[in-house]
Structure formats: structure tokens, C-alpha cells
Amino acid sequence: MPLDDAAMFPLLTEASRGLLTRLREHTSAPRWTHRCGDRLTAEALARVRGYADSLKAKRNSSPRGQPSWVGEFLDHCRRDVPFYRERLPSGESLEAMPATLREDLRTGYWRFVPDTADLRDILTYWTSGTSGTMVMVPSCPEAPVKYLPVFEAALRALGIGMKGGNRMSIVQAMCQRSAYTYPSVMSYFDGAGLARLNLNPSEWRSPADRAAFLAEFTPELVTGDPVGLVELASLPLREPPKALISSATALLPGTRSKLEAAFGCPVLNLYAMHEVGPIGIDHGNGLEILAPDIHVEILAADGSPCPPGVRGEITITSAFNPFLPLVRYRTGDHAALDLSAPAPRLVEFEGRAPAVFRSASGRIFNSIDVSRVLSDCPLPALSLIQRADGSVTMRTRCDEAMASLVREQLVDLFEGVGVEVERIPKESPWEGKLIQYRSDMPVTEHQKGD
């Protein structure tokens, strides 16, 4: 049964109702495919505002000792959460707790919802993660809205403030074959507008409507994946946003530079997972961990903690989503912790364990090395495969000159191995993950180290 506006927007005001109607009915609006609201009650909004205050007051403490909230959080998990009830040993030391795996969530997602959670507030998201298998993620209205104060904190560090009010504040830009698109309003930003847009021209009545809609509803902030943001850069905008936040996949430095030049504003890279929340935000110097209720550990393959500077698996204990408490959740992503700045940062980040490649001379290197070599190339998406015979195929989206440069860099890195660069035209949708590495080369166990 679809929800009506009263259920989707419990705090809708006359002004925000007017804005919502304009967004829905504007002559240049896309053919909206979905309806979504913030679902936020006054009590939940108050909790999010309290969270915003805590972001102003506290810094994330990972991993300089266990945060003070973890002891109580573990008690809550043992007492109220079916999955943890008979699983967590007594005691307050996080290091003594067993890891939680994505498989645990996928095969028993309902066991993570605390008995104390009011099911009238439950939300469901789907996530595919890096493995591609779908996982149902329990959530509640305040969890997704808590991203907004985290964004504000990241922008505040750059001297940027969000105004909100009776205007468009956030556009989420994608460019896909088809996507959920909707207009919405956000009570957290005093009724300001949100639009999730698919910039694929076929989703609009006329391709020119994209720029016309954005001229009418100019956002303060644009979020999206690199493909959507690069597409946005090709449109004539009346006024640039204050900042861009890229997420969903790695943002290569070359793409970031291209976007910063196109919009004349900072471009941040968000590392987030639906099941965890916003883990880190990067402005070119590592992923800063901002959320005070997300604790990050870096673990070696044997489960022992890695010292700062040593790469390992990013493992999260998170109270960010009250309907999905996570204890030592192994993300499958890898990075090292850098404690040299006041706030902890994740550096040398690479989603999943890196793929291992081999050059013509037999030199072993991994996908991080490929990312480094290509770091100055503005590629919004790439797929690189080394086959068992050693040959390399790279699919990407760029012009011929850039493809030549990419080919040169790869031939150099792979020391003469045959490299084919296939350009995917803008009109063709990108299939699969935006950054994909795969190696079919046989590699012995001792060569798999990071």
C-alpha cells in the first residue's frame, strides 16, 4: 500500500508542501519514477539535531582506545538483539568480541533488529555491496537523515555552511539506464528540497530540461556517483553548488580534479555502506572518520589489530543505525589508519582485497598500483581485467586522447603486456560496479600480500 504525504512527511509545513508540489509538477521536471519522504517525526528530528550537536562537540576517537559508549552498546546488544544475545561473551573489551560477517546479515537480517525497536518505524534498504549479492538492511527514519549532519560537519571544516529553508538544497545526481528518481523535502533542513535525478537524457521529456530544471532549482550540495557527477559537469549550470560529495565507488584523483575545475568548488569523497553508515569523508588527504558513533578497527587476516600505517580489513562497530547495531562488522574493504592528524583517517583505501596482477617480466603488483598509475586520468569508471594468458583489457569512458594515455600508462606498468583499451560511449550505460579489477592470473599464496 503506497504511503500518502502525511506518512512520508510527518513534519510537512505549508512552505515545504508548496516546494514539493513545484518540484513534482515543474514543466522541466524529469519523469519521476518514485515517491519518497524523510518519514521523520518530531521526536526523531530532535534526536538527529542532538546528533548534529555531538558532531560539533566531539571528534571520533578510533582507535585511540575504546570509545566510552562501546561498553553500554555491547550490553544493549547482548540484552536486546537476538543475533548477539547468545553470541557475545561478557565483558566490555571489544577485542574479545567475535566478528560479524556480511553473511550473518544476509542470511539473518531480522535477528539484528533490537527487541526494543518499534516496528512501525522500520525501513528496508537493499544493498549489493562489492560481492553483488543482495542484502536486506533494516533501518529507521533517523538513520539515513543522520548522514546530513555528517555532511554538514565535513563541509563546515571547509568553511561551507548549508542554508536550507524554502529552496533546493541537495541534488543527488546519477546517470544510469534507469533509476529510482523522486523529489522530496527535508525537515532537517527546514523543509528544503531534495531531488534524486537520473541525468540519462532518456529519462527526461527533453534533454534540455535537465539544465532548465537545475536552473530553476539550484542546489547547495550535489551528491552522487562519479559517472553522475561527470555527466552533471557537461550541463550548463546557472550557479555552481557549494560542494560535491561523490560516493558509491572510488573517486580517482583525476576525476576529482576535473570536477573541481568544472564546478569551482570542493569535491569530497564519501566512503559509506548502507548497513554501516558514513564511515569516512575525504578531501584529498585520506578518509576522515567523522561519525562519533562509528568505531573503526583495522584487522589483519588472523583477526589481530594492525598498527597505524599498516593495511588491513576495515572493521566497524556502529551504533549509527539504531535498528542495525553492528559489532566488529568486517567490511571486506582494506585501508590503513593514519593518526597523524587530530581526527583519525583511513589511507591507502581500496575496496575489497586488492586484485593481484603480473607484468611481462613476472613482477607482481596489485590494483592499488594500477589506481596510482591512473590517478591523474579523469576516468569516472573503469574495468580492468588481466586474463590467464597475461593480456589486459581495460574498459572505460573517455575520449580517444585519454584512451591513448591510459594505454601508454598501462603498457608501461605491465611492462609490455598486450593492453587493449575499450571506450564505452556515453550513450551506453555502464554495466556493473564503477571501479572493477579482476585478475585471472594464477598467483601463488605468498604473492597475495598487500
Partner 1 sequence: MTMPVLADLLRWLAETPPEFREDPPLAAVLGDLLESLGHPDMDAAALARGEAGLKPRAERNRRLWILAACRLLWHPSFRLSVLPADGLRHLFAKELPGVAAITAADALITEEDRREELVRRTLRAVGMGLAGETLLESEDRFCQVDSVEGRLVARGAAERERRAREVREAMAREAARMAAARYSSE
Name the site residues for partner 1 (rule: CB under 8 A). Answer: 1-3, 7-8, 34-39, 82, 101-103, 106-107, 109-111, 113, 115, 119, 122-127, 131-134, 136, 138-139, 141, 144-145, 147-148, 151, 170, 172, 174, 180, 182, 184, 186, 194, 196, 223-225, 228, 245, 247-248, 270, 272-274, 278
Closest CA to 391 of 417, 411, 416, 415: 417
Closest CB 4 distance from partner 1, rounded Å: 10
Place of cell 548549508: 162
Q: How far is the CB of 403 from partner 1 (least distance, A)?
A: 26
Q: Least Å distance between CB 357 and partner 1? A: 19
Of 48, 65, 51, the C-alpha closest to 295 is 65
- Of the pair 112, 263, the CB lying nearest partner 1 is at 112
- In the complex, the smallest distance separating the C-beta of residue 66 from partner 1, rounded to whole angstroms, is 27
CA 144, CA 358: separation in Å to the nearest integer? Answer: 42
Nearest-approach distance from CB 216 to partner 1, in angstroms: 20
Q: State the nearest-atom distance from the C-beta of 65 to partner 1, in Å.
A: 29
Q: Which is nearer to partner 1, 270 or 355 (CB)?
A: 270
Ordered alpha helix ranges (H), 157-242: 209-216, 226-233
Residue 46 or residue 101: which is nearer to partner 1 going by CB?
A: 101
Residue 139 to residue 70: CA distance in whole angstroms: 20
Beta carbon nearer to partner 1, 29 or 273: 273
Residue 366 Cβ, how far from partner 1 at the closest point, in Å? Answer: 18
Spatial separation of the C-alpha atoms in residues 196 and 180, rounded to whole Å: 8
* Phi/psi of residue 208, nearest 5 degrees: -70, -20
Looking at beta carbons only, is 139 or 436 nearer to partner 1?
A: 139
In the complex with partner 1, the residue whose CB is nearer, 138 or 312, is 138
> Backbone phi, then psi, for 91, in 5-degree steps?
110, 170
Smallest distance, Å, CB 170 to partner 1?
6
What's the distance, CA 134 to chain centroid? 16
| 321 or 409: CB nearest partner 1 | 321
- What cell does 206 get? 527533453
How many Å apart are CA 269 and CA 226, to the nearest integer? 10
For residue 45, give every residue at least 6 positions away whose Cβ sits within 8 Å of its Cβ, in sequence order, or none: 11, 145, 187, 188
Name the E strands within 190-276: 192-198, 221-224, 243-246, 267-273
**Which residues face 193 on adjacent strands?**
168, 185
Q: Which residues pair with 383 in a beta bridge?
A: 395, 436
| Residue 388 contacts residue 440 (beta carbons within 8 Å) | yes
